[in-house]
């Protein structure tokens, strides 16, 4: 699986999400990346398979929303030009010994390289389409534990690398599972911690993997403002040797996100603002897959 760091950050936001009132939010973020796989005009050409030579940055607009009608809902992780996810589902209280949510999801088409491994030429772009479904069990049997399982299907429209090497085909699916627990330290502070397991099953065995993650979050809530910090540490091991690099890929990834939300902007109970920043990277036994990122953004929203 090709690691778009920004997308992973966005998908982790629900782990430390704000209260799920109805809202609409607009903002922008500056995203800096050092990543051979990232699709950008400044990253079209690579000369070798070493770690990324240079970093590049861009401003990306962001849209985020949540809307509930009785037990039905539709919401997003932050949507931008480099990714994002829309989820629609139904909440079923007191079902399967928990508050249960069943949902379907659709990810915005993500730009990827047709063949990321082309050297000394301008690489061509295509899109990866992703969609899936999931089940979430909250506060199982009256406990503080919650569980989520999700199936996501990936399809690369023009997979030139996969046609060159069968082991690198990128069509397939990912089965993700997450178990986490909330601990209230006092009336204003909440601690989240959890574990996750992702199984990537792709047509190309060199892209199939097992990934284990540790998740941690700290949440501070007051009436007029709140703050969130989230940390993730993951280890991935791929199934087969890479046909170009002659080695089985192993990655260690880590990220940290911090955000602050201020409510009641200019005295209006419904208007809020948020600032957020993030840092992280992917550390691999294959230099080509090394990556780093930095993120700084702000947004304004309206709750109703």
What integer pLDDT is reported at residue 54 of this predicted model?
85
Where residue 210 sits, what CATH number does that domain have? 2.40.160.40
Predicted local distance difference test score (pLDDT) of residue 240: 97
> What is the spatial distance between Cα 211 and Cα 93, in angstroms, rounded to a whole number?
31
Per-residue pLDDT of the chain in tens (304 residues, 90 and over written 9):
444 444 444 444 444 444 458 999 999 999 999 999 999 999 999 999 999 978 999 999 989 999 999 999 999 987 766 678 999 999 999 998 999 999 999 999 999 999 999 999 999 999 999 999 999 999 999 999 999 999 999 999 999 999 999 999 999 999 999 999 999 999 999 999 999 999 999 999 999 999 999 999 999 999 889 999 999 999 999 999 999 999 999 999 999 999 999 999 999 999 999 999 999 999 999 999 999 999 999 999 999 9
Count how many domains the chain has.
1
Euclidean distance between CA atoms 189 and 201, whole angstroms: 39
Rounded CA gap, 112 and 201, in Å? 19
124-151 in b/e form (b: 16+ CB < 10 A) is eebebebebebebbbebeeeebbbbebe
User: Could you tell me the residue range of the domain that residue 234 belongs to?
Assistant: 5-303
Q: Which pLDDT score is estimated for 293? A: 94
Distance (Å, rounded) from C-alpha 237 to C-alpha 209? 6
Each residue's pLDDT tens digit, 98-137: 999 999 999 999 999 999 999 999 999 999 999 999 999 9
């Amino acid at each position: 699986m090709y690691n778009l760091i920004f997308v992973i950050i966005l998908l982790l936001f629900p782990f430390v999400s704000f209260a799920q009132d109805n809202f609409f939010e607009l903002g922008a973020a500056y995203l800096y990346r050092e990543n051979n796989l990232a699709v950008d005009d400044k990253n079209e050409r690579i000369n070798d398979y070493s770690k990324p030579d240079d970093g590049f940055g861009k401003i990306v607009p962001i849209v985020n929303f949540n809307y509930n009608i009785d037990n039905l809902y539709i919401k997003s992780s932050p949507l931008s030009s480099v990714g994002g996810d829309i989820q629609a589902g139904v909440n079923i209280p007191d079902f399967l010994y928990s508050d249960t949510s069943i949902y379907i999801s659709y990810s915005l088409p993500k730009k990827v390289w047709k063949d990321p491994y082309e050297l000394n030429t301008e690489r061509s772009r295509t899109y990866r389409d992703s969609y899936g479904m999931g089940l979430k069990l909250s506060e199982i049997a009256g406990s503080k534990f919650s569980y989520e399982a999700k199936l996501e299907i990936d399809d690369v429209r023009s997979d030139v690398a996969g046609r060159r090497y069968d082991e690198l085909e990128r069509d397939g699916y990912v089965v993700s599972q997450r178990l986490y627990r909330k601990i209230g330290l006092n009336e204003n502070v909440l601690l989240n911690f959890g574990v996750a397991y992702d199984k990537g099953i792709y047509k190309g065995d060199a892209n199939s993997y097992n990934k284990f993650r540790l998740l941690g979050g700290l949440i501070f809530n007051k009436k007029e403002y709140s703050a969130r910090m989230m940390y993730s540490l993951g280890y991935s091991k791929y199934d087969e040797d890479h046909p170009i690099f002659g080695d089985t890929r192993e990655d260690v990834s880590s990220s940290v996100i911090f955000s602050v939300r201020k409510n009641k902007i200019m005295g209006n109970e419904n208007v809020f603002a948020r600032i957020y920043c993030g840092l992280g990277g992917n550390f691999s036994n294959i230099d080509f897959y090394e990556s780093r990122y930095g993120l700084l953004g702000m947004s304004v929203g309206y709750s109703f």
